[in-house]
Chains A and B, each alone.
Chain A
Amino acid sequence: MSQAILDELMGILAGGAKAASISHGVLALEIEPAALLATAKRLRDELGFDLLLDVTAVDWLGQTPRFEVVHHFYSTARLVRVRLKARVPEEDPAVESLVGLYGSARYMERECHDMYGIAFRGNPDLRPILLYEGFVGHPLRKDYPKDREQPLVPYRR
């Protein structure tokens, strides 16, 4: 059932993507960062993907472009998931924000900005959400030292 829907979606969306595959029951599309907003709008308005599940990123240290911004969408009517992956370079790790389409993107993009330093153009509030003001760096990047601490309270000894 869902396989047929995924195949149908793949036929619709694969043309605009660099690569498309079905992996673990999720239609995964690799797209250009510039096409993110348009693809998400199409998913929401034409294909019934009414839920933005997650915004995260992958740090492929050593590759160019270095970062991969990953969005997950879900259709509560058709019960299938779609994953959008867009590669952005280290010098300008930025994509368009989806706040205008999905309100829930507001916090998830803030978290992604905290952890990976991805800038979301159009998100009006990218203050730290899990980290604290004054934190230097992005802890889930692969080049952040795993034992580096930035204490807010000076240690007693």
Chain B
Amino acid sequence: MSAKKEFPAGVEREAAKAEQGRHAGNAQTVERFDVPVIVDEQRCITGCHICIDSCPVDCLSVNPTSRKAHMQFDECWYCLACEVDCPTDAITVKIPFLLR
């Protein structure tokens, strides 16, 4: 473990930290989101792309693990195009939590 970095005291320390903050790069975190599009994987047809084509904001894709459709991006307009166009009624769109 490296020793704690020496900074000047008081105002000078703050200025040094502020300067350092401008060049420190970015840190990332992963958050959990509740998303509106729910896919019933039993009903969803493997290889069918109808809902993915329908989405006007391109927020759906094939889940590489299950090979079924899923909502990949938290960017839903809850327009119901995917739900209406699904040939097996596998999709239910909820009103996003922030609105409902």
Q: Do A and B come from one complex?
A: no
